[in-house]
Amino acid sequence: MSFIAIDLDGTLLNNENEISEENIKAIKLAQENGVEVVISTGRAYFDVQKICGKSGILPFVIGTNGATIHSKDGECISSIAIPKIHVESIVKWLDVHDFYYEVFTEKNIFSLKEKRESFQNEINRLKRADLDEDTKELVSIAERQFDQFGYILVENSNDILQQNDEVFNILACSFDKNRLAEARKQFSNCNELMVVSSADHNIEITSRFASKGLALEKLVYLFNGSLDQSMAIGDSNNDISMFEKVGYSVAMGNAKDDIKALCSMSTLNNDENGVAYAINQYIDTFVVKK
């Protein structure tokens, strides 16, 4: 059995935060031909479930950068939380250094109301500025982040730390590269944590035992599949771990050159149905059609 693991933002989702009909058709074709499709994303499962339900597709879901795995019928197969002691230290450090951040649990995304308003104001200010095309795209990506489902806005970090749900992922944002580099260094120094990035304005923190690649490896093992015959499609730093696990790695056309250099091939961009193009090529080359 082979698997196709697909990132969401910048990959399966177009710039309108939607899954195109061409991509939906290709995913269903893969499933009809015995290939298991996996959505592998930094988003939480409940958000992915809403997106997939709207599109009428039923995949496995690797959520919160590999911290959770859900079956096609919604059963939680695996979950790896950030230890509570580290959740507290991460949140307090981000507070002291005035970052906008989001805390992902099984059911919700917590963020501070005041910091969210401040980050939205920064986005609005940048949108009015004379920016180069790359920065404009980065600002647009940051704003689309707020389209996620499940936000709970709270007044202070204690409202987050006092809730009992396990925390699977913490995302911190800044358009200041130096500040972001400082945060990455701070948390990368802890061998209990994994730090990746899904865009140039953020870092995402999970347990060191959680990554898209490790989750995909576990899922394929549980269902007696073959990583060598599987494919992963993505566009960002947080997709690298799954690129390293599969036989066929595909970078989106909108991915940066360093990501493309790591992959077996590149496809079209996320506004040109790049996922459909890659899936159709994979099926034509490697799958005996039913």
Question: Known catalytic residues?
Answer: 7
The C-alpha atoms of residue 200 and residue 197 are separated, in whole angstroms, by 7
Phi, psi for 117 (deg, rounded to 5): -60, -40
Q: Three-state secondary structure along 144-207?
A: HHHHCCCEEEECCHHHHHCCCCCEEEEEEECCCHHHHHHHHHHHHCCCCEEEECCCCCEEEEEE
User: Please, what is the Cα angle at 62 between 7 and 194, to 5 degrees?
Assistant: 90
Full strand arrangement of the beta sheet holding 76-79: 76-79, 68-70, 60-63, 36-40, 3-6, 231-234, 248-251, 265-266
The C-alpha atoms of residue 269 and residue 277 are separated, in whole angstroms, by 10
The secondary element (H helix, E strand) that includes residue 37 is strand 36-40
Q: Exposure string (b/e) for 194-217, b if CB count within 10 Å is 16 or more?
A: bbbbbbbbbbbbbbeebbbbbbbb
β partners of residue 39: 6, 61
